[in-house]
Structure 1
Amino acid sequence: MTDKNRSLPPEALDDWAAVLRERFDLVAEDVPIALILDLARDVANGVARPAAPLSAFVAGLAAGRAGGSPEDVREAVAAITELALGHETPPAEPGS
């Protein structure tokens, strides 16, 4: 692993999205960066930070199984966001 700065400027994220689109033969609408970043933020704040990448994966999986259209992606993200915003973390066990 290289010692790169992992805090990317927005254009670096756009560049990475372009690499992914090219590799997987996708168009810009297939990779809704802002939507996915909003999902990650809402899940990280409403559930837990490690739940964000898991939720993004599940959103893609659910959208793909529903047909894979941009609308399917938006619907999956909306459903997960709703769950995250209403999620109540159970209280910590005493002594943990």
Structure 2
Amino acid sequence: MNVLAEWTALACKELGVDPARVDRDLVLELTKEVAHGVARPAAPLTAYLLGLAQGAGTAPDDAVARLTTLAGNWSQATKETLTDS
């Protein structure tokens, strides 16, 4: 078992989370997009926000898709936000 898989299994056990509900690759892909498209420190914050959204009832796939799109459009989104009157 690699370190990431072992960490995931132990963290899930510690938090009482069913490991079958964790799409590790999906979360890692999202955080990669955010780290490269927005800023590195935004990646762990985004993972946390994804967890909050899921806890509030948002479907993880929907939240990931929306956040990935936001990260991909970050430069345009910030231009629009900064020039809004």
TM-score bucket (shorter structure): 0.7 to 0.9
Per-residue deviation at 1:78? 1.2
Aligned to 1:55: 46
After TM superposition, the score normalised by the length of structure 2 is 0.80
Map of 2:56 onto structure 1: 65
RMSD of the TM alignment (CA)?
1.7
1:84 alignment partner, one of 65, 71, 74: 71
The number of equivalent residue pairs is: 77
CA displacement 1:12-71 (0-9 Å, x = unmatched): 00000000111122222222110110011000111011110011111110111026xxxx
Unaligned runs of 5+ in 2: 80-85
Q: Secondary structure at the match of 2:2?
A: helix
Query: Which amino acid counterpart does residue 14 of structure 1 have in structure 2?
Result: A
Q: Secondary structure at the match of 1:66?
A: coil
Show structure 1 runs of 5+ residues with no match.
1-9, 91-96
Q: Could you tell me how far apart the structure 2 residues matched to 1:29 and 1:50 are?
A: 27
Bigger proportion of residues as helix: 2
Q: Percent identity?
A: 39
TM-score (norm 1): 0.72
User: Which 4+ stretches in 1 moved above 4 angstroms?
Assistant: none
